[in-house]
Structure 1
Amino acid sequence: MNFPVLSNLLLLTVLFSYFDLKPKQPEQDIFSHGKLKVSENKRFLQYQDGTPFFYLGDTAWELFHRLNKEEADKYLEDRAGKGFNVIQAVALAELDGHTVPNPYGYLPLDDLDPAQPAVREGADNDYWDHVDYIIDKANELGMYIGFLPTWGRYWHDEESLIFTPENARMYGEFLGRRYKDKNIIWILGGDREVTSDLHYAITRAMAEGIKAGDGGTHLISFHPRGARSSAESFHNDDWLDFNMLQNGHSPDYTNRYSKTLEDYNREPVKPVFDGEPLYEDHPLNFDAARQGHSLAADVRRTLYWNLFEGAFGHTYGHHSIWQMYDPEKKRRPVNNPLMSWKEALDQPGASQMIHGKKLMESRPFLTRIPDPSIIVKGEIPTSIPGEGRYRFVATRDTDGTYAMVYCPVGRSFTVNMKVIKGMKVKAWWYNPRNGEANLFETFDNVQDERTFISPDKGELTDWILVLDDAAFNYPAPGKE
């Protein structure tokens, strides 16, 4: 017997016991809360047992199509480690996923017919076995797959059209039946605008087929064209459980991220979030020659613009990762990616998304509402609350126990203190770059208005002001 090894094991056991340092449990324990559903107030997602669910997604459109098992493991383990809980991926992928095989030489369909998925006997023997492997791996790591059955080109673009209402229903039923017991969220659409009766018929038939196959056990949404919303086409359809925006690849609030609040205010009420905002390292407005590429600061702004204006969660994306760009594979790059997908895993924006999730979860979750009235308009409204890249936005809970203001720049602003009901207020600055909170003041709530300025005056460095009713003794922002 190796006594040094034994003594080390005993020492670890004692340490775990003394400090309550329990080995980390598998993240799939989150699935023990039951299936996902829409909250009673129709604003959020939650589990069957009432536990809130903050959707923190990553965009991996080509995951099923382009990555082998080892690569998929690397990607999924990285994203789980960074706190993502939904991975958005497409079965019939955009980049010729219908005619270009996956890394193992398999295609998804026989004869390009959605009614004939290319399923073969045996394990690891077809395209769908590889999809199964990736879904199982994601679930094992505690993540859902935001599952797009197809990219939009195959039901929309005349030169790529392979769907009819009839085979869309059959394909949907195949998927629903096959993945009935997996932890997934269905996302129809695929970056196309619904412009004809045929488009409506195909989409609705696919939703009908999925529900027939899985018994309605999973939530369904729709991924729209850029600067559009699923609500524009399907808001009143019963199968659409929540609305998805694609606010898209602009760095400006105006006419893009303002649409989140527009969808929040629609009737009947449905949850809303942005399933495709500006990606990190993406050509701004698809015009790199004039505007360059986005930075982590740009994708942080979209996160808080969306959350503070009513979104129940958020999706991050990186321009190299969605397409799984790998120069060693000699694939044609789409829109000038700056690095390989493997390098892009560690870009700063990805690691900073979790701070938004933790901030929202550190305060009452299901009662949070957007409230533009928190910010007092300045004499020049384009300064406060601002426009373009410099828009200030605010949120609070319905009971007035806390309020938050997102400050994209260091500029003096005034808060309507009447939204906080308590007699004493604790004021924090929360750093969205590292998740650290600083309690900088506690004061009597006797003024109708109070002026603040974030720690980095005049800089393009964002901060979040958190105001708490001191009587509730909330933890530091971002802490449990």
Structure 2
Amino acid sequence: MSRLRGFLPLATLAALSFATARAEEPKHRFPTGVSPDGRYLTGKDGEPFFYLGDTAWELFHRSTREEADRYLADRARKEFTVVQVVALAEFDGHSVPNAYGHLPLVDLDPTRPDVKDGPANDYWDHVDFVVDRANALGLTIGLLPTWGRYWHDPIKDGKPLFNAANAETYGQWIGRRYGGKGVIWILGGDRKVENDEQRAVIEAMARGLRAGEGGHPLITFHPRGGGGSSEYFHKADWLSFNMRQNGHNTDFTGSYENTRKDYDLQPAKPVIDGEPIYEAHPISFNAARNGHSIAADVRRPLYWDLFTGACGHTYGHHSIWQMWQPDRKPINNPLVPWTEALDAPGAAQMKYGRRLIESRPITSRIPDDSLIVVDRVPTSVPGAGRYRFVATRDREGTFAMIYAPIGRAFSVNLKAIKGPRIHVWWFDPRSGLVVDDGEIANTGESRFEPMPWGEALDSVLVLDDASKNYPPPGQPLSKD
């Protein structure tokens, strides 16, 4: 049993907590490849790249330059690394002009992007501005060449805008224009691949991107809710990593557990949840029954995904993805304008998950729920629904982490941790604060009770081989 028991006043917690300020991180570090073991993304230096994404699907289409700059600067401050944006946007981006009155295509023809000579006078000049500004702030753009409706749904003359021929041409053009920048390519766009013709369009666009950019850019596929790219393209050589849309619900069971299923596929490819539940979103699209999600609802998927094998995570806010403001038609009842949503608590808490993972070795980290001793009543521990416990560790046995979504005592199998002494820490996902719980003997199994932050509040138990002298969780890991 963890040694610090009973209620601790906030002042005591503060005294036991370590500051979580980080050293200034280098700018302009973008993902360019995949690790040899197929588990995480890497930069040009070969070091792991942590994908902490935000969904701003309509940013190109609905923002002014000043608004885009405000949004991007905020996300950079909050330590996001990727912003997911769509070139041909969902809300009639083909026919409704952007903030400057520009459309992306001539006569709805994907082979004829509407490009004019000179700066700042066409749709793509605005896309250039957003991509370049994001890159200058150290943010990678997760760039969808088109939303799924334009290759899936009837748009023009009873047919989609895209076919295999024009998709490849468009892919070449957009690949040339943004190749070499800090960009990850995301095909798909919230649609299922339902026939060979649609599959051919996606594969043609992937070929075009490769030809236009020259080489092997990072490409993935954004699927329909509850699905994953692996269903259609796992073994495709152009699919660099799998993306899931685990969906706008709050249960691990039947939803977020699928991240582990993609992690276990062969050949091994990194996996990311590109669209979990958004903050302030109608839960399961049924606000009348379930209400709107809160910060706790978006924190749980962060740790569920990370601890079950994801190479990062994507956050979203229901007002921000649609860039909603009062003069626009709302989709599914956003609660506040996007400018207010920038300061939603869940967005500010995402960085603590990133800091936690980066404070321990990443390259050897694996999911391992066998660390959690199954209770007499398994639905209690490891639990089910929104109260599921999950665990991760490294192959070398130097550390382990257990995510406890609630304040329920649980037991841990310590055999996977090497060394006779174990350093015990508690990490607060809401604040990044850390409590040092001292050392215990590695006796094979031990029982822990989460810190008294509250019965319905989450926490992370971090167990280190004491001989490694790792820093407090959330603090930068020395590269020495």
Distance, in Å, in 2 between the alignment partners of 1:458 and 1:122 is: 58
Distance, in Å, in 2 between the alignment partners of 1:458 and 1:87 is: 33
1:306-356: CA deviations, max 9, x gaps? Answer: 0000000000000000000011xx211000000000000000000000000
Q: Does 1:340 align with 2:313?
A: no
What's 1:99 paired with?
Answer: 95
What's 2:14 paired with?
Answer: none
Q: C-alpha displacement at 1:458, in angstroms?
A: 6.4
Distance, in Å, in 1 between the alignment partners of 2:249 and 2:28 is: 37
Quick one: which amino acid aligns to residue 41 of structure 1?
A: D
Q: C-alpha displacement at 1:216, in angstroms?
A: 2.5
What's 2:195 paired with?
Answer: 196
What's 1:378 paired with?
Answer: 375
Q: Does 1:360 align with 2:357?
A: yes
Give SS of 2:240's match.
coil
Q: C-alpha displacement at 1:69, in angstroms?
A: 0.4
Q: C-alpha displacement at 1:196, in angstroms?
A: 0.6
Equivalent position to 1:44, from 35, 40, 43: 40
What's 2:177 paired with?
Answer: 178
CA contact (8 A) 2:62 2:323 kept: yes
Quick one: which amino acid aligns to residue 219 of structure 1?
A: L
Change (3 A) 1:202 1:69: same
What is the Cα-based RMSD across aligned positions, in Å? Answer: 1.2
Which structure shows the bigger proportion of residues in helix conformation? 1
Quick one: which amino acid aligns to residue 299 of structure 1?
A: V
Distance, in Å, in 1 between the alignment partners of 2:346 and 2:441 is: 37
What's 1:437 paired with?
Answer: 434
Q: Does 1:390 align with 2:391?
A: no
CA contact (8 A) 1:26 1:141 kept: no
CA contact (8 A) 1:189 1:223 kept: yes
What's 2:252 paired with?
Answer: 253
Equivalent position to 2:139, from 143, 148, 154: 143
Distance, in Å, in 1 between the alignment partners of 2:24 and 2:230 is: 39
CA contact (8 A) 1:26 1:142 kept: no
What's 2:211 paired with?
Answer: 212
CA contact (8 A) 2:34 2:42 kept: yes
Give SS of 2:320's match.
helix
Distance, in Å, in 2 between the alignment partners of 1:26 and 1:231 is: 33
1:24-77: CA deviations, max 9, x gaps? Answer: 97953435xxx5210011101111222210000000000000000000000000
Distance, in Å, in 2 between the alignment partners of 1:264 and 1:456 is: 33
Q: C-alpha displacement at 1:457, in angstroms?
A: 7.3
Equivalent position to 2:419, from 415, 418, 422: 422
What's 2:75 paired with?
Answer: 79
CA contact (8 A) 2:407 2:458 kept: yes
Q: Does 1:228 align with 2:224?
A: no
Distance, in Å, in 1 between the alignment partners of 2:84 and 2:372 is: 34
CA contact (8 A) 1:192 1:224 kept: yes
Distance, in Å, in 1 between the alignment partners of 2:388 and 2:25 is: 40
Distance, in Å, in 2 between the alignment partners of 1:278 and 1:36 is: 27
Quick one: which amino acid aligns to residue 168 of structure 1?
A: A
Q: C-alpha displacement at 1:441, in angstroms?
A: 2.6
1:261-296: CA deviations, max 9, x gaps? Answer: 000001111110100000000000000011000000
Gaps of 5+ in 2: 1-22
Give SS of 1:213's match.
helix
Change (3 A) 1:321 1:302: same
What is the 5 A alignment of 1:8-23?
Answer: none
What's 1:277 paired with?
Answer: 276
Q: C-alpha displacement at 1:184, in angstroms?
A: 0.3
Q: Does 1:131 align with 2:131?
A: no
Distance, in Å, in 2 between the alignment partners of 1:97 and 1:422 is: 58
Identity %, equivalent residues: 59
Q: Which runs of at least 4 in structure 1 moved beyond 6 Å after TM superposition?
A: none
Give SS of 1:79's match.
helix
Gaps of 5+ in 1: 1-23
Higher relative contact order (CA 8 A, sep 6+): 2
Aligned length: 451
Deviates further, 241-250 or 44-53: 44-53
Distance, in Å, in 1 between the alignment partners of 2:319 and 2:354 is: 24
What is the 5 A alignment of 1:313-324?
Answer: 313-324=312-323
